[in-house]
Amino acid sequence: MKAGTNILRSKENRVFRLKELLWLLAACVACFTVLIINGSILFYFDSGGYVVQGISGLSQLGVDLSTGTDAASNAGSNAQAPLNDGNNTVHGSRSLIYAFLLALLTIFAHMDWLVLFNTLCVFLAVLLPMRVCLRRYNSSITLTRSVSLPILLSSLGALPFYTAYAMPDVFAAILLIVTATLTVFIRKMQYWEILLGLALAGFAVISHPSHFLMAVLLVPLSAIGSALTEGRGWWLTPLLMLFLVIVGSAERFAFKLAVEKVANSEVFYNPYLTARLIADGPGLTYLKDTCPNPEVATCALYDALQLSDDPMRLTASHITFAKNPSLGSFKLMTEEDQRLVGQEQMEFFVNVIKHSPTSIGLAIFENTLTQVMRYKVDMTIPSESIIRIALQNPRIPDNTFSAGRLARTQSWTVWFYYGHTVLYAVSLLVIAVLLVLPSGLPGRLRVMALMIFFGMLVNALICGGLSQPADRYGGRVIWLLPYMATIMVLFRGVVSRDTEAQS
């Protein structure tokens, strides 16, 4: 009788483990769906720049590229000066660490493997709060399902487009998840969980300058959230966030040092902020009232803007990138003037604020609001021009990128936009209802939901308010709405295992 019972239990355990494995497999496949359908990784203009910069940097550091593909070896040997983008400058908007990652995948594996790395990081980020919740609350759900369900629901939105994207955008959402988790649960986390969270958030911060700026604004936000949940230990999370900001600053300093000392070049930043201020109006008004002035380098850009009367030349993207005489301005200037304008943009920002503080505030608010409403996945799909540039660039190894099956011009993008809008609207409604209900949801999860929401606003402020509102920037974090809504539903009505009743 006892042997029969043991056999039955063993069979039940095998069935249980199989079910858990299927849940995990389903969530993994969901993150891979876009890669499977497209047949290759998605990419952007900058994706190729990361690869070239990474190969050049690895070559300069003495990494033997001959052990990789022949195309990668040739690309490394034929590269220009290490890290150099030409004109003796290196674009500062690209993270050298992320460039190394893409280069290593290109040389020693294949770019499509990036989706595995991105998916693993997403799973680890989601795992952290779920482990703490299951320890703290009396939920009957398993760890595997508590991790898989939010990812499955998020994969109905933009998530699989960003796990299959050769850009660091998915780490913006990972940064927000980790920050929210540390804010509400840090004193309930094990040491290795805190270290894992810091590793994920640290990589996110150094993977793109916009993530670094987000981390800066998340410091005070985490302090407020910690004060609502941690009491005496409220300072711990903002202290760790400040540490991440220091890590990001160190990466920028090391990048600048490597460019100047190793590559004998100069870090160059495109004048995104300057272009945004001009496009919004206050920057253009300041230049009209100030120029000509030899002490203001941006006056050279103002002169270039007068070369055409086409109103479209005043859009931020045309100011920064256009080379057509009727639309271009910055790219038509001399290399020295471009360098000076790029260097001056922070000083230009401060001067414009002094000149028109109210107008600047309204413009930033309007751009942030515009960014919040933009979340289509279209920008993750390479356009014909992006494909042409990537495939024809001799410095990018062969077979790194391919056109893929998906195309922006197909009608499926419109239907996806409608479907995603419904998903996000329902998720936002669920979050709002559960936040407003007087009971049924642990207080820490309420604060976590608010941290995620305000973190998304920080993303909109940095990317849209201070740069250029774009669907890509909204889509990279919007999937956090179904993610958070799922977690709140899963843990609604639970009771804390601590002496607190509903904390």
CA dist 386 → 295, 322, 381, 383, 395 (Å): 38, 15, 9, 5, 15
CA 321/CA 330 separation, integer angstroms: 7
The answer to whether 277 and 359 are in contact (CB under 8 A) is no
Helix (H) or strand (E) holding 268: strand 266-268
DSSP summary character for residue 382 = P
Q: Tell me what pLDDT residue 73 has.
A: 55
268 bridge partner residues = 91
pTM: 0.90
Task: Return the structure tokens found at 436.
Answer: 């407003």
- Phi, psi of 481, deg, nearest 5: -65, -55
CA 397/CA 154 separation, integer angstroms: 33
CA dist 428 → 147, 324, 349, 419 (Å): 20, 43, 35, 14
CA 480/CA 106 separation, integer angstroms: 30
CA 139/CA 176 separation, integer angstroms: 24
CA 471/CA 460 separation, integer angstroms: 11
CA 112/CA 260 separation, integer angstroms: 33
DSSP summary character for residue 156 = T
Task: Return the structure tokens found at 346.
Answer: 């922070």
CA dist 457 → 301, 373, 418, 464 (Å): 31, 11, 22, 10
The answer to whether 102 and 207 are in contact (CB under 8 A) is no
CA 232/CA 226 separation, integer angstroms: 9
CA 256/CA 252 separation, integer angstroms: 6
CA 344/CA 80 separation, integer angstroms: 27
Q: Tell me what pLDDT residue 13 has.
A: 73
Helix (H) or strand (E) holding 355: helix 335-355
Give me the residue label for tokens 């300072």: 235
Q: Tell me what pLDDT residue 70 has.
A: 56
Task: Return the structure tokens found at 426.
Answer: 């329902």
Which amino acid does the sequence have at 451?
M
DSSP summary character for residue 479 = T
**DSSP codes of every residue in 234-245:** TTHHHHHHHHHH
CA 246/CA 205 separation, integer angstroms: 10
CA-CA-CA-CA torsion for 85, 248, 192, 27, nearest 10 degrees? Answer: -50
As averages over each run of 10 residues, the pLDDT of the chain (503 residues) reads 61 78 95 96 92 86 65 51 54 84 93 97 97 90 95 97 97 98 94 97 95 96 93 90 94 78 71 88 92 90 88 87 86 87 89 91 91 94 90 88 85 91 97 88 93 97 86 96 96 69 43
Instruction: Please tell me whether residue 165 adopts helix, strand or coil conformation.
Output: strand
Buried b (16+ CB within 10 A) or exposed e, 249-288: eebbeebeebbeeebebbbbbbbbbbbbbbbbebbbbbbe
Q: Which residues contact 380 (CB under 8 A, 6 or more apart)?
A: 42, 44, 158, 161, 162, 164, 165, 472, 475
Q: Tell me what pLDDT residue 39 has.
A: 94
Q: Tell me what pLDDT residue 374 has.
A: 95
Q: Tell me what pLDDT residue 432 has.
A: 95
